[in-house]
């Protein structure tokens, strides 16, 4: 049985910790800071960090890698086309890896960065800064077309897939989502729930793909309500899905 929990880092990052209670081996995803991981290991004697999974090269996702690697000799997996510190295994699209006895499939999901990858094991998605709860990552390197394609690919996974993204952005994302679809009852209900959760300092992750499809405007670019709102703001008509996505992302960047 593998348990998944979150180690908070910085102001709004989560380092995902996977624990195999049979072997007392564990893995982490995107350790931007070594300290939370080392504190957990110190509080759980006998546990060994065996694997480090990296989705992309940004410092808040890789800043702790070398320190953890030196202290534990964990195996570091990361995207082949990005500069990942202490990487042992360079991963490309459709590669498969075995971590703690679980097989993960690697998806190339360019957009936030050009080499960004996601890790998928049946029912679980570690997607870094590509798909967020009720949102998506900024386009620092990729194009809107690339990001739309990446999100479409992730959205095609089973609806009960748990979405483990790496930032607590859900509340701010939902405030944007309700601006895009003010008459979406699912978004209104989720916003109310998440507002209460954050007021009580409760984590809002993981999400599910089913919930994202109902409330995440970036996965709803085919919906008439979303297209009409973009038309209204931009004075345009009949935009294709990638263009609707691009308009939404540009709006969110200034929201």
The catalytic position among 33, 51, 58, 148 is 58
What is the average pLDDT across 130-154?
98
C-alpha distances out from residue 99 to 39, 44, 102, 104, Å: 22, 20, 5, 7
Give dist(CA 197, CA 37) in Å, integer.
25
pLDDT tens for residues 54-113? 999 999 999 999 999 999 989 999 999 999 999 999 999 999 999 999 999 999 999 999
Known binder of ligand: residue 112?
Answer: yes
167 flagged as catalytic? yes
Of the candidates 112, 116, 122, 148, the residue annotated as catalytic is: 112
Q: Is the pLDDT of residue 238 over 80?
A: no
Please report the pLDDT score of residue 162 as a whole number. Answer: 98
Q: What percent of the chain has pLDDT over 90?
A: 96
Query: Catalytic residue at 112?
Result: yes
Across the range 199-228, mean pLDDT stands at 97
Cα gap 148→242, rounded to integer Å: 6
- As a whole number of angstroms, the distance between CA 129 and CA 151 comes to 11
Q: Measure the CA–CA gap between 33 and 21, rounded to whole angstroms.
A: 24
Selecting among 33, 51, 56, 57, the annotated active-site residue is: 56
In the chain, where the domains are located = 3-164, 169-253
As a whole number, mean pLDDT of residues 17-30 equals 98
Q: Is 167 annotated as a binding residue?
A: yes
**Predicted pLDDT at 239:** 79
Tokens of 123: 């029912």
- Of 57, 61, 116, 148, the active-site residue reads 61
Q: Which helix (H) or strand (E) holds 15?
A: strand 13-20
220 has a pLDDT exceeding 90: yes
If one compares 252 and 1, the residue with the highest pLDDT of the two is: 252
Q: Is the pLDDT of residue 118 over 80?
A: yes
* pLDDT of 236 strictly over 90: no
Is 222 annotated among the ligand-binding residues? no
Count of Cβ atoms closer than 10 Å to residue 41 Cβ:
19
Q: Domain 3-164, what architecture?
A: 4-Layer Sandwich (3.60)
Task: Report the alpha-carbon distance of residue 16 to residue 31 in Å, rounded.
Answer: 8
Mean pLDDT of 101-126: 98
Q: What pLDDT, on a 0 to 100 scale, did the predictor assign at position 235? A: 86
Percent with pLDDT over 70 in the chain: 100
Would the pTM of this model clear 0.75, i.e. be above it?
A: yes
The pLDDT score that the predictor gives to residue 33 is 98
pLDDT for residue 237 is more than 80: no
Pairing of strands 124-128, 131-132: unpaired
End-to-end CA gap in the chain:
42
**Beta-sheet strands, E only, within 86-139:** 89-91, 96-99, 102-108, 117-121, 124-128, 131-132, 135-136
How many Cβ atoms from other residues are within 10 Å of residue 240's Cβ? Answer: 12
- Is position 95 annotated as part of the catalytic site? no
Is 61 a known ligand-binding residue?
yes
Is 60 labelled as part of a ligand binding site?
A: yes
Query: Taking residues 13-42, what's their average pLDDT?
Result: 98
């Amino acid at each position: 049985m593998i348990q998944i929990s979150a180690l908070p880092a910085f102001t709004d990052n989560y380092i995902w910790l996977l624990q195999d209670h049979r072997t007392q081996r564990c893995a982490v995803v995107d350790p931007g800071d070594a300290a939370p991981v080392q504190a957990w290991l110190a509080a759980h004697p006998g546990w060994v960090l065996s694997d480090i999974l990296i989705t992309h090269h940004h410092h808040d996702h890789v800043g702790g890698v070398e320190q953890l690697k030196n202290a534990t000799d964990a195996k570091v997996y990361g995207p082949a086309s990005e500069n990942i510190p202490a990487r042992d295994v360079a991963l490309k699209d459709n590669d498969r890896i075995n971590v703690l006895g679980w097989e993960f499939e690697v998806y190339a999901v360019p957009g936030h960065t050009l080499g960004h990858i996601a890790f998928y094991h049946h029912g679980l998605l570690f997607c870094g800064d590509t798909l967020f709860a009720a949102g998506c990552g900024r386009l620092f390197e990729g194009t809107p077309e690339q990001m739309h394609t990446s999100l479409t690919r992730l959205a095609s996974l089973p609806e009960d897939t748990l979405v483990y993204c790496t930032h607590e952005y859900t509340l701010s994302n939902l405030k944007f989502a309700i601006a895009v679809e003010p008459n979406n009852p699912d978004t209104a209900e989720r916003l109310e729930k998440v507002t209460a959760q954050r007021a009580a300092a409760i984590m809002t992750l993981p999400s599910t793909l089913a919930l994202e499809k109902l409330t995440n405007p970036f996965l709803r670019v085919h919906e008439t309500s979303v297209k009409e709102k973009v038309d209204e703001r931009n004075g345009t008509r009949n935009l294709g899905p990638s263009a609707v996505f691009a308009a939404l992302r540009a709006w969110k960047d200034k929201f």
